[in-house]
């Protein structure tokens, strides 16, 4: 494609490329294949996001709470603190 080409035809070509790319990705999506259950689960996990309300709820809950400070005996006896 030369630089002298009209702008509209550039756009058209770009649109065609995008459409082809979308079609290709659609085909790939339609024919997914996973070697193991874990691969499938990984794919599934990538599609899942925590709801935004989770963060909002946490924010509201934590506003009413102070963080628990590390107690002096935890620092002193760091080898054997109680793990929750």
Rule CB under 8 A: is residue 69 a binding residue for other proteins?
yes
Based on its alpha-carbon atoms, the radius of gyration of the chain, rounded to whole angstroms, reads 27
Judged by beta carbon, residue 17 or residue 74, the one nearer other proteins is: 74
Rule CB under 8 A: is residue 24 a binding residue for other proteins?
no
Write down the least CB distance from residue 17 to other proteins, Å. Answer: 24
Residues 6+ apart with CB under 8 A from 71: none
CA diameter of the chain = 77
Answer for which of 2, 8, 27, 65 binds other proteins (CB under 8 A) is: 65
């Amino acid at each position: 494609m030369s630089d002298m080409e009209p702008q509209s035809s550039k756009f058209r070509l770009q649109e065609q490329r995008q459409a082809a790319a979308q079609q290709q990705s659609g085909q790939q999506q339609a024919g997914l294949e996973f070697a193991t259950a874990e691969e499938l689960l990984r794919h599934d996990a990538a599609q899942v996001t925590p709801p935004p309300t989770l963060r909002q709820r946490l924010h509201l809950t934590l506003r009413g709470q102070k963080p628990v400070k590390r107690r002096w005996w935890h620092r002193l006896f760091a080898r054997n603190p109680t793990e929750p």
